[in-house]
């Protein structure tokens, strides 16, 4: 009976009910979109790291401090030391890599250059690597300014084979092929010979990372620990370690996004409280009559609280649908700009959003419900005369 009375009251004021539910839906929908970015980034990074074949990665220091530095800092001489210590541990190969991010004013003019030795098997670093047009880099290209562009980067920036690709005023690379690989990391990057990139950025004896291949991938943690003890000044991490660092960063952004969403949720909660409280004031005489015929205060408390909860549930459900639409639009834009889906709506996120909407309804309805329960029969009836 309580729920039917609450529903009847909301239907009796359709415009106010619709506007309030719309406010809740927008608040919940914005929260869903904001938090879906965290879920999407987690999945995207996991997919990207799964597309890198090397089991261990070494940097000049902790990954979180040097992982995305623009200037290579790891001496090439470290390779021989790693091979010497790592050979008894099952280290098969140590591959130097230079990562250079060239920023631009727009996404289609920003590129991630990756320098690798011209004589290595690229598929060993990027599983599923294949040339889809033109040709790949060969040992003869070791000191030439040539580049193989990922298919998504080429599509995003309208690049074709034979086009010049400018890295700096003094260095321009000619595109000789288009490539794709599992996971998408290479598909969004520019692959160039290591030596050519080092010369172009004036770091002839430095690299960004060393990727270590071992004979038994199941021993990656054990080998990484041993190398970390042998070279305490270096950052030695497995793919899982890198993902853990990224996860910590995403959690920080989750808190920021949730804080921004909380502002919209608070506004929505105030709207619910205001709507239900106005309804209580308008029905003071009605509630007095209900009390006069025998209704207890807790009955009125339940009716008003049910109105608040119904508003929040409906707004929450519509908000989740709006969140789906918002995430879909975000992914369309991100796929066009960077070739990745950065928003993902999971069942955990849906349940969390609905729980927040329900909690918002309960909390915002407490004050109006308490007001209705305190209405005195004599005072309520006298207001109608």
DSSP letters of 149-173?
Answer: EEHHHHHHHT--TT-EEEEETTEEE
Average pLDDT over residues 246-253: 67
Which DSSP symbol is given to 101?
A: E
The reported pLDDT for the residue numbered 381 is: 56
Q: Is the pLDDT of residue 319 over 60?
A: yes
Secondary structure tally for the chain: helices H, strands E: 12, 12
**Token pair recorded at residue 60:** 């000049």
- Please enumerate in sequence order all residues whose Cβ is within 8 A of that of 362, keeping only pairs 6 or more positions apart, or say none: 305, 308, 309, 312
- Reduced to 3 states (helix: H, G, I; strand: E, B; else coil), residue 145 is coil
Using alpha carbons only, what angle is made at residue 71 by residues 70 and 72, rounded to the nearest 5 degrees?
120
Whether 41 and 250 have beta carbons less than 8 Å apart is answered as: yes
- Over residues 261-301, the pLDDT tens digits come to 777 788 778 877 887 788 777 777 777 676 677 667 788 78
The reported pLDDT for the residue numbered 44 is: 64
Q: Is the pLDDT of residue 5 over 60?
A: yes
Q: At what angle do helices 220-230 and 78-86 cross, to 10 degrees?
A: 120
Q: Is the pLDDT of residue 130 over 80?
A: yes
Q: Which residue has the higher pLDDT, 251 or 143?
A: 143
Q: Is the pLDDT of residue 378 over 60?
A: no
| Sign of the C-alpha dihedral computed for residues 119, 121, 124 and 129 taken in this order | positive
What pLDDT band is residue 111 in, cutting at 50, 70 and 90? Answer: confident
**Token pair recorded at residue 66:** 């040097």
What pLDDT band is residue 141 in, cutting at 50, 70 and 90? Answer: very high
Read off φ and ψ for residue 107, nearest 5 degrees: -60, -35
- Over residues 154-177, the pLDDT tens digits come to 887 888 999 998 888 888 999 999
What pLDDT band is residue 245 in, cutting at 50, 70 and 90? Answer: low
Summary mean pLDDT of the chain: 79
The reported pLDDT for the residue numbered 47 is: 60
Closest to 285 measured CA to CA, from 373, 381, 379: 381
Q: Is the pLDDT of residue 373 over 70?
A: yes
Q: Is the pLDDT of residue 222 over 80?
A: yes
What pLDDT band is residue 105 in, cutting at 50, 70 and 90? Answer: low
**Token pair recorded at residue 48:** 């990207």
The reported pLDDT for the residue numbered 183 is: 56
The reported pLDDT for the residue numbered 154 is: 85
Whether 320 and 32 have beta carbons less than 8 Å apart is answered as: yes
Average pLDDT over residues 308-312: 87
Percentage of the chain exceeding pLDDT 90: 10
The reported pLDDT for the residue numbered 324 is: 92
Distances (CA, A) of 72 to 46, 115, 201, 257, 376: 25, 11, 9, 32, 77
Q: Which residue has the higher pLDDT, 66 or 43?
A: 43
What pLDDT band is residue 380 in, cutting at 50, 70 and 90? Answer: low
């Amino acid at each position: 009976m309580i729920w039917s009375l609450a529903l009847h009251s909301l239907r009796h004021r359709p415009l106010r009910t619709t506007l309030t539910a719309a406010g809740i839906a927008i608040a919940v929908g914005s929260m869903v979109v904001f938090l879906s970015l965290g879920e999407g980034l987690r999945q995207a990074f996991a997919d990207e790291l799964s597309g890198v074949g090397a089991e261990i990665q070494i940097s000049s220091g902790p990954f979180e401090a040097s992982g995305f530095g623009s200037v290579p800092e790891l001496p090439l001489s470290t390779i021989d030391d790693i091979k010497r210590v790592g050979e008894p541990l099952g280290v098969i190969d140590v591959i130097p890599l230079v990562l250079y991010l060239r920023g631009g004013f727009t996404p289609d003019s920003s590129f991630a250059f990756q320098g690798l030795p011209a004589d290595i098997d690229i598929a060993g670093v990027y599983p599923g690597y294949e040339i889809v047009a033109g040709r790949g880099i060969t040992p003869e290209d070791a000191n030439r300014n040539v580049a193989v562009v990922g298919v998504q980067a080429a599509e995003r920036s309208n690049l074709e084979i034979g086009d010049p690709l400018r890295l700096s005023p003094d260095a321009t690379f000619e595109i000789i092929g288009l490539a794709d690989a599992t996971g998408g990391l290479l598909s969004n990057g520019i692959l160039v010979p290591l030596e050519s990139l080092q010369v172009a950025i004036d770091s002839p004896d430095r690299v960004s990372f060393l990727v270590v291949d071992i004979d038994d991938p199941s021993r990656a943690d054990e080998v990484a620990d041993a190398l970390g003890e042998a070279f305490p000044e270096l950052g030695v991490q497995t793919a899982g370690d890198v993902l853990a660092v990224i996860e910590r960063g995403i959690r920080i952004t989750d808190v920021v996004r949730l804080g921004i969403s909380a502002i919209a949720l608070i506004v929505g909660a105030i709207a619910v409280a205001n709507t239900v409280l106005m309804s209580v004031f308008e029905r003071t005489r009605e509630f007095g009559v209900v009390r006069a015929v025998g209704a207890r205060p807790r009955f009125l408390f339940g009716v008003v609280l049910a109105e608040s909860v119904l508003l929040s549930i409906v707004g929450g459900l519509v908000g989740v649908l709006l969140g789906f639409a918002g995430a879909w639009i975000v992914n369309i834009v991100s796929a066009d700009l960077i070739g990745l889906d950065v928003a993902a709506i999971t069942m955990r996120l849906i349940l969390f959003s609905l729980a927040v909407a329900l909690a918002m309804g309960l909390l915002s309805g407490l004050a109006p419900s308490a007001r209705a329960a305190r209405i005195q029969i004599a005072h309520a009836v006298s207001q109608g005369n």
